Amino acid sequence: MKALIQRVSSAKVEVDGSITGAIKQGILVFIGIEKTDEKLQIDKMIKKLLAYRVFYDDDGKMNLSVADINGGVLVVSQFTLAADTKSGTRAGFSTAKPPAPAAILYDYFLSQIKQVHTPIASGIFGADMQVSLTNDGPVTFLLEC
């Protein structure tokens, strides 16, 4: 599983012109679910991303997590993160989990993260989404589990 996280001062996702999720300060999380991923990887990723230190403390060091600052988390499914890009000039998607089982894991991700953190917002799995954000920093990390 891969999660591309961006520290944001605000972010939103729209589907068909309607906002499905929006946050103020927090992290925007694009998740790519790979073929071998199961609930164990989801659980590990949730712990990791909520604890990952990307916000500044009083000394100007990145020592605070989104949980520490009670920031928002906007979750957006992005199967292209699971792409094989090692060769050629076109991505291959044989490493991505097929849509039906990936949707189940995405829903599991949302249900589990909502149990341990608020606020949580999200896009819609498989939808054509328009994502807007103000990257704060910029600060972007690729997390893998």
Tell me the per-residue pLDDT of 7-20, one tens digit each, with 9 for 90 and over.
999 999 999 999 99
d(CA 19, CA 108): 22
d(CA 69, CA 88): 42
**6, 41, 78, 109: the active-site residue:** 78
- Please say if 78 is a catalytic residue: yes
**30, 55, 79, 109: the active-site residue:** 79
**80, 85, 115, 134: the active-site residue:** 80
Query: 103: buried, middle or exposed (CB in 10 Å: 19+, 13-18, 0-12)?
Result: middle
Tell me which residue has tokens 């604890």.
Answer: 51
Largest separation between any pair of C-alpha atoms in the chain: 46
d(CA 34, CA 128): 20
d(CA 46, CA 57): 22
pTM: 0.94
- Please say if 115 is a catalytic residue: no
- Please say if 125 is a catalytic residue: no
- Interval 93-111: pLDDT, tens: 888 999 999 999 999 999 9
